Every structure is written in C-alpha cells, then in structure tokens.
Amino acid sequence: MSDPKLDGLVIPKHVGIIMDGNGRWAKKRALPRSVGHRFGAQNFRKITRYISNVGVEVLTLYAFSTENWKRPKEEVGALMKLFHQYLKDSLKDFRDDDIKVVFIGDKSAFDPQLVKLIQETEEVAKDRKGMQLNIAMNYGSRAEIVRAVKSICKDVAENNKDIDSITEADISDRLYTGGLPDPDLIIRTGGEFRLSNFLLYQSAYSEFYSTDVLWPDFNDLEFNKAVIEYNRRNRRFGGV
C-alpha cells in the first residue's frame, strides 16, 4: 500500500532515522522527559508501519546510544522500563505485519529479562519477508567499527586471512548491518545537524535530512517531505 503523494518518486531502499526531541517535546508541555519518551515510542510504531507500506526495504532507528547511559539515572531507568513494555507490546502489535525485526548494538549491557524479550522478538519475526526494521539499542558506530576490526585481526592472527587481502567489504560485512545496503537517506528530527555516532561507516554517501519537528510529532507527511527532498538531490557518489 503506497501513498499517492509519493507516486513517481524514488523511494530510498534504506532509511536511517535519528529520533531526537522526546525530552524537548515534553519540556514544552511542562511534562517529565519520560512522558516524551512514551509518546515517542507510540510514534515509533505508527511511523514504522507507514514506512514499510511505502516500500522502504530497510529502516534503521536509533533508539538508545552507547552515550545515552550518561543521562540521569531516573531517565535511563524509565527508558529501560519503556523498552520492556514496547517489546511486550510489539510482540502483539506487529504479529500481523510482515516486518522483520533485528536489534543492532551491544545487548550485553541490558538486564537478562530485556535480552530475553529482544531474542523472542527477533525469533518471532525472523522468517518475515517484508521490510527489515533495525532497532539500534546500546549502539555506537565507533564501537561497531572497533568490533569489526577486531574480527578481522582475529582472522589474520589465526591465518584465516592475509593482511594484504583486506578490503572495504571485509569491514562492511562485519558491521551489524552486514549484507544490507548502505543507507540512502538519514533523517534527524529535532533540528540538529550531526550524526551522533550513528552509522558513520555506512553513511559515507547517504543523503542527510534534518527537520525541526520533534520526534513525537514526526508523521507520514513529514516523512514524505524528506523523500521529496531526497528526490531533489543529485547523488554522484564522488563522480561528476
């Protein structure tokens, strides 16, 4: 089910979204930041379905970064509770959707119950053939690249790979997104113009789109604006 407003436009195969502005959304309404995160999580589900319906093949959403642990303890605790509830709800909400769910990032820092829910969510969705939804949790691109380099070093140390034969593909294949197309479009809500340690290696030639709209207010119309702008860009990939 496509959106007529996007008829005739090129739909990016892989879209990455930095979901920013939950806290500011709540502050503008004199509400606790945790309320902003709750509304952001509700929006997460609506936008995921819409993006799947318009034909995007891969959607990567930045849910929790390796740096987010530095936030106030109460906020991190509220986010962990929200993740628990979201995963329980998503097992019901997405059961009739043809969306494959994959979590990228270091899951070892999460409590065992959350890890179990992550594994259950992935298992239920593993054979689906529709859009792949990557949820980046405890994700940091620099740590991801270090992880890939360590994997290559291990292969070299065990004489499974010659150091002179290492290629860019060897790094790409060992990233969490190995085997997937690089993102065509990175969207950041909340008005900021930085990647914040998100898909740094993969986004070398991604188009970047920033909107002042805060994440809880980001909807299908705002996504369409990003796709329309994407279609105005001339992607040369270093050529003329």
pTM here is: 0.93
Averaged confidence pLDDT in the chain: 93
CA–CA distance, 60 with 5 (Å, rounded to integer): 23
For residues 13 and 184, is the Cβ–Cβ distance under 8 A? yes
138 is a catalytic site residue = no
Mean pLDDT of 183-203: 97
- Of the residues 68, 197, 224, 231, only one is catalytic, namely 68
CA–CA distance, 21 with 25 (Å, rounded to integer): 6
Q: What is the pLDDT of residue 96?
A: 75
* CA angle (32, 24, 201) in 5-degree steps: 120
CA–CA distance, 188 with 22 (Å, rounded to integer): 12
**Residue where the block lists tokens 């604006």:** 225
22 is a catalytic site residue = no
Q: Using pLDDT thresholds of 50, 70 and 90, give the confidence band for residue 3.
A: confident
For the chain, list the domains and their CATH numbers. 9-140+183-232 (3.40.1180.10)
Percent share of the chain, pLDDT over 70: 96
Q: Using pLDDT thresholds of 50, 70 and 90, give the confidence band for residue 97.
A: confident
**Does the structure show a pLDDT above 70 at 1?**
no
